[in-house]
Amino acid sequence: MSETSVLVVGAGPVGLTAALELRRRGVDVVIVDRLPEPPQYAKAVGIQPRTLEVWDAMGVLRPSLDVSAPMHGQLVYVDGQEVMRLELALPEDVPYRFVCMPQYATERVLTQALAEHGTVVRRGVELTGFDRTADGVVAALRDGEDTTRLAARYLVGCDGAHSAVRKGLGVSFDGDAFPEEYMLADVELDWSMPAGYGIRASTRTDGTTTDMMVCIPLPGDGRYRLSTFVAPDLATSAPGVGTVAHGLEGGRRPTLGHIQAVLDRLAPEPTRASALRWSSVFRISHRLAGNYGGGRVFLAGDAAHIHPPTGAQGMNTGIQDAYNLGWKLALAVQGRAADGLLDSYDAERRPIGEEVVGRTVRHARQGIGAGETDAATAIAREAQLLLGYPGSPLVGGDVPDGGGPAPGDRAPDATGLRQDAVASPLRLHELLRHPGHTVLLWAPTVQALASQRELAERAADRFGDALRAYVLVAGPAGTPADGRVLRDDAGRAAQAYGFGGAAAAVVVRPDGYVGFRAQDPTIEALAAHLGRILRPGR
C-alpha cells in the first residue's frame, strides 16, 4: 500500500489550487481525477479581482493574464432596447480588475505550476471509497481494471457536486434545483458590440422574463460564452425531488443552428454565430454541505456548495476554499499547527459558502446587485473584496479607530513603498508573495524605527520560515530603508492600514487576511496571537 501526506480528489481549479498550495510548502501530495483527459470547455469563465490577488501570491498571475481577456462591464437590453450599462469600476488601490478566462485555460496554468513543483495529476483514477483511521484515511482508487489502496494523512474532496468524498463522509447537501434547463456554447459572434463587455438581452411580458441570453467575452477575436434557456427539442423532464441536478449534461449538445435561433430572437443587432468550439445543456441547483469536514477529511468547491453562476462566484469561491485550507493543512502535516487550527476551516469558509449561495440565488431571480445599497458596494462584493472572517477564532487584537482593515478583513494593497536597494517603487502586496505569515510594523517617526526593527528581527527569529517581518517607516526621502525596512514615501500604506502617530503592528495571514493588529506592539503580544495558529520554531 502506497502512502502520501495528502490525497486530493478532483483536478479542477479547486483541487489544483489545493495541491499547489501544499506543494509550495513542501508537502507531498497525490492528486487524482476520474477523467482520463482534462475537459476542453469554457464552463467557468469569470475571474474575480480577489482571485487574481491570490494568483499573484501563488506565482501564477502572469501566465493567467497571458490567456485572459478584460471584462469592463455589461450592457443590458430588454425587448431590444438598452436599459443599463454597468461599468465594473474599482478603486485605484485594488491592483487587479475583472477578467474572463475559459476554465480549460485556468486548469492548464495551475497544472503546469503544479508540475513545476514536481507533482503530476493521476488521470483516469477514481476514488471508490475510503476508511478513516486514527492516523488519516485509507483510500480505494480504481485505475481501469485495477484497484489500489493509498494511505494518506489527510483527504481533500474537490470532486464536484456529486462528490464521492462528501457521500463517504455522510455529510448532508441540502437545497433545491431550478426547474429550468439551460444551454451553453462557445462561439464567435460578428456583431459590433464593444469589446470587453458582457451582453445580457431578454424579453419580458407583464414583468416576467420570457426569453434570455447572456454572452460573456472570451480571449480571441469576437469569441463569447453564450448561455440561454434550452431549446425545446433538447429539453427533458425535471429531475426527481432530492436529486442533485447540477452541471453539464454532455449527451445533448446544442448545434450552431440552436445558437443562431437565439441570436435571431434576442441579439441587439443582426448577428451571425460561427466557429462553434463547444456546447452543452446544463442544470442549476443550489445546495450547501452540512459541514466542510474536519479531522482528517475536508470538502472544497462544488463538493461543499453549488449555486447559480450569476456573478461568476462559484469557481472563485472554491479556489479561495482551497487557498484557506492549504496553508492550514500544510502546518498540520509539518507538525507546526496549533491545536484546533484545522477546525477553523469550516468555521471560516462555510459562512462564506452560505452567503454566496443565498446571494447568487437572489441575483439569479432579481438581477445582480439586488439588495445592495449602492453600485460600488455591489461591485466590490462581486469582486469578492468584501469577504472576510471577522468572527473567526483565529483573529483578534485592536479594532482600528482611524480606518484601515479590522482583524478578519482582506489586507489591502498600497503603492509607493521605497527601498534603497530597489530603483522603482514597490507594492505592499509584493511582501505577501511567500507561504507564511507577514508582520507589518509601523514606525511613525525615524525615532521609532530602531525599536520596530528590533521587534521585526525578534519575530522572524522566533518563528523562523513561518513568518516574514517588515517595518514601514514614515519619513522624508533619505530616511534609511534597507533590509526589513521600507519607506512609505507617499503615505499610501499608512492610509490603507489606518496607521497614525503611534507604533503599530498588523499580522497578515498566508491567505491575505488580517489576523491581528495592535498599537504599541510587543513580542509577547505577537507571540500570543501567532501561538494560537502555529508552534514556535524554525
pLDDT per residue as tens digits for the range 4-43? 999 999 999 999 999 999 999 999 999 999 999 998 877 8
The CATH number that domain 396-530 falls under is 3.40.30.120
Identity at 93, one-letter amino acid code: D
Share of the chain above pLDDT 70, in %: 95
The CATH number that domain 2-37+50-65+101-170+290-382 falls under is 3.50.50.60
Residue extents of the structural domains in the chain: 2-37+50-65+101-170+290-382, 396-530
Question: What does the pLDDT look like over 388-441, one tens digit per residue?
Answer: 999 999 999 988 777 899 999 999 999 999 999 999 999 999 999 999 999 999
Asked whether the beta carbons of 250 and 234 are under 8 A apart, the reply is: no
Is residue 243 pLDDT above 80, yes or no?
A: no
Work out whether strand 467-473 and strand 514-519 pair parallel, antiparallel, or are unpaired. Answer: unpaired
Mean pLDDT of 83-90: 93
pLDDT tier at 207 (50, 70, 90 boundaries)?
confident
Is residue 241 pLDDT above 60, yes or no?
A: no
**CA–CA–CA angle 397, 319, 199 (5° rounding):** 115
Mean pLDDT of 469-488: 89
Report pLDDT for 538.
45
Asked whether the beta carbons of 417 and 425 are under 8 A apart, the reply is: yes
Report pLDDT for 188.
97
C-alpha dihedral over 449, 454, 455, 460, to 10 degrees? 130
Is residue 58 pLDDT above 70, yes or no?
A: yes
Share of the chain above pLDDT 90, in %: 79
- Residue 355's contacts (CB-CB under 8 Å, 6 or more residues apart) are 387
Q: Look over the chain and give the mean of its residue pLDDT values, rounded to a whole number.
A: 92
pLDDT tier at 446 (50, 70, 90 boundaries)?
confident
Report pLDDT for 400.
77
Q: How many CA atoms lie within 13 A of 287 on its CB side?
A: 29
pLDDT tier at 359 (50, 70, 90 boundaries)?
confident
Cα(85)–Cα(27) distance, integer angstroms: 47
Question: What does the pLDDT look like over 273-296, one tens digit per residue?
Answer: 999 999 999 888 899 999 999 899
Asked whether the beta carbons of 157 and 293 are under 8 A apart, the reply is: yes
Cα(52)–Cα(413) distance, integer angstroms: 13
Identity at 304, one-letter amino acid code: A
Burial code of 256-277, b = ≥16 C-beta within 10 A, e = fewer? eebbbebbeebbbeebebeebb
Is residue 239 pLDDT above 80, yes or no?
A: no
